[in-house]
Structure 1
Amino acid sequence: MAPNGTSAASFYTDDKNLMKLCDFLRSSDGPAVREAIEMDKRVYYIKGEKLVNFMVEPKKGTKWPKELPKFTSRQEAIGVCKDLCSGHFMHRSEKVGKGELEVSRVRDFDESAYFTWMYEGNKKFSHLMTTMLIIGFLCCTCFPIWPNFLKVFVWYMSVSMLIFIFFLITFRALIFLGVWILGYDFWILPNLFDEQLGFFASFVPLYSFERTKEGQLYYRIGVFVAFFSFCYWAVTQPSEFDGFVKGQGDFIKDLYAGTLLSDMSQKDKENIDKPKMPSLEDLLKKLDSEDEEEKELSEEEAVDSLLDNLVEDEEDVADDEE
């Protein structure tokens, strides 16, 4: 029953209430959906039977919204699903291939058919993110006219993020290697680099710990011998650890200061984001050098033609004497 005592069927006759129901069904607490391509567009679809089953008996642990009445029978759920189809919240589809759908000519709801969600929820957040993306793009294209302190801030942030990611990847790999040798797979932030997850979902769970698959014993022994042999060799070799630490510190300082490219003059580094246009003086020098080259070529051609004429005259004299 609805909060005010009315039945679920009568409560969901209002489009606003149907939108609230769709917001819940399309959320992470709703039924699982699949992805497909329909009319050259990525869509989400679900089988009618699974949708009705979820509406009547939600999966365990589902937090049903208090403001929405629960369904007491399959007939109530099927009736609301028909309203969702007639209200264009979803439409019936047919499979035409693996991962491909097409809009069905049949509009009625059927538990054995597939239905594609047309309702995309509140678009305010999407519009806000699009606006922020456009503003960010414009800011990036206007980077040459940014004030110098903002350029320095962006540079420091970029270098700090680069160093943090490098040490995080190295730390994760070393921890995994040490635990994997003992027969377990231990990953810190296992979904960190999963491209199919969102930003916040990439940090969940914090870690994963499970036994390795069978048949990896000899690989673990080989890695154990190779790793600790390398460690023993590195420890027994004469080295200047203090010099190494100092060198790494100088490298990071140069990285933050932007002085790694020592062969670039200070003027070039300051004007690296400015378009390089030749000045009038440079153009005139270039024209003068081209004129001088043409003069030299013309003088060489004149000498060559004079030598050719002398050779021809000598050959003519020799022919006359004969």
Structure 2
Amino acid sequence: MAPAADAVSFYEDEKNLKKLCDFLRSSEGPPVREAIEMDKRVYYLKGEKLVNFMVEPKKGTKWPKDLPKFKTRQEAITICKELCNYQYMHRSIKRGKGDLVISRDREFDESGIFTWIYEGDKSFSHMMTTLLIMGFLFCVCFPIWPNFLKVFAWYMSVSFLLLIFFLVTFRGLIFLFVWILGYDFWFLPNLFDEQLGFVDSFKPLYSFEKTKEGQLMYRIGIAVAFFSFCWWAVTQPSEFDGFVSAQGDFIKDLYAGTLLSDMSQADKENIDKPKMESLEDLLKNLESSDDPEEELLSEEERLEAMMDNLMDTEEDLTDEE
């Protein structure tokens, strides 16, 4: 570790200055704010706060052992001027809330606002970008995947879909039970908040508060309907058990990919094509007609009516084409 008295001379070396910037831009560094400058999201802080942090870091900050600390504010100000000279940061002017413009004054001043230009080591960012591109190409090449990978992707997709479904159902049921008692309880309340990041979506774990006034009648109505359904499920086990069994078969078919296995290949290929009744179907329809007037017709008249229906059907199909 370099002596504290040589802090200024130590940071005059650009390599050591970069190390200091890496520390200041890390999570251990001074707090920064976000803004837009030249249509780009940037991070800025006041010069005074930067100097205060460099002289007296916040409690609990782990200062790197290989970097000397600053004894006086003048040493910190000198290094801040070097940061501006090396264009690791520049001075900005606040034009509005969250809106900055670059200042013509390039000198460091504790009363000014300074925007970070230095973004640190980009190796991790480049690695993630490479992985993203490779992942995209890997997904695009799905048709040429080996069969076991296709099966694995199908199982993972179905499992994720079922997980989301059961999670949503579980959250809804827990909320319903507690809401009937007069309280709002949500498990993972921010799970579907699109404005939060992935980690923040799982915070807090739950929320619990009293319901608003005027919901008593609604709670009573929902409670009666819910417990009525529970009573039906208990007193009609055969019907409810059949429903549960059908859901189990549905999940099995979903994993096996056999939901349409009862259809022939021709039906699958022609599923979006118009269907035309066969001669046998038309004869059956004529024989089973409920119209009393048609029952009085002779066999020849029925055949003529059938041919007329066929001609009308062909004309309709021709018009549609």
Question: TM over 0.5, yes or no?
Answer: yes
Counterpart of 1:234? 229
- Alignment match, 2:80: 81
Q: 1:124 to 1:208 in 2, by over 3 A?
A: same
Instruction: Give the Cα–Cα distance (whole angstroms) in 1 for the partners of residues 63 and 179 of structure 2.
Output: 42
| Contact kept in structure 2, 1:184 and 1:209, CA below 8 Å | no
Partner of 1:47: 46
Distance 1:246 1:76 in 2: 76
- Relative to structure 1, the CA distance from residue 174 to residue 19 in structure 2 (aligned partners, 3 Å threshold; closer, same or farther) is farther
* 1:289-309 Cα deviation digits (max 9, x unpaired): xxxxxxxxxxxxxxxxxxxxx
Q: Is the 8 A contact 2:187 2:206 kept in 1?
A: yes
Shift of 1:161: 0.8
Q: Distance in 1 between matches of 2:21 and 2:223?
A: 58
Give the 5 Å matches for 1:152-301.
152-179=151-178, 186-205=185-204, 207-209=205-207, 211-212=209-210, 216-219=212-215, 221-222=216-217, 224-237=219-232, 239=236, 240-261=239-260, 265-266=264-265
Give the root-mean-square deviation of aligned CA atoms. Answer: 3.0
Give the drift of 1:158. Answer: 0.7
Pick closer, same or farther for the CA change 1:191–1:110 going to 2, 3 Å: farther
Give the drift of 1:140.
Answer: 1.8
The aligned residue for residue 62 of structure 2 is 63
* Distance change in 2, residues 1:5/1:33 (3 Å): closer
Distance 2:12 2:49 in 1: 22
TM-superposition CA deviations, 1:48-96 (whole Å, max 9, x none): 2222233333334333333333333322222222111111111111223
Q: Secondary structure at the match of 2:30?
A: coil
What residue identity is the alignment partner of 1:170?
T
**Runs of at least 5 residues in structure 2 that lack an aligned partner in the other structure:** 270-321
TM-score with structure 1 setting the length? 0.71
Q: Is the 8 A contact 1:88 1:118 kept in 2?
A: yes
Deviations along 1:199-224, one digit per CA (max 9) or x if unpaired, are: 4454455x245545xx82434x3553
Q: Could you tell me how far 1:242 is from its partner in structure 2?
A: 1.6
Q: Percent identity?
A: 68
- Post-superposition offset of 1:8: 3.1
Deviation at 1:125, TM superposition (A): 0.9
State whether residues 189 and 207 of structure 2, in contact with CA within 8 Å, keep that contact through their aligned partners in structure 1: no
Q: CA deviation at 1:38?
A: 1.7
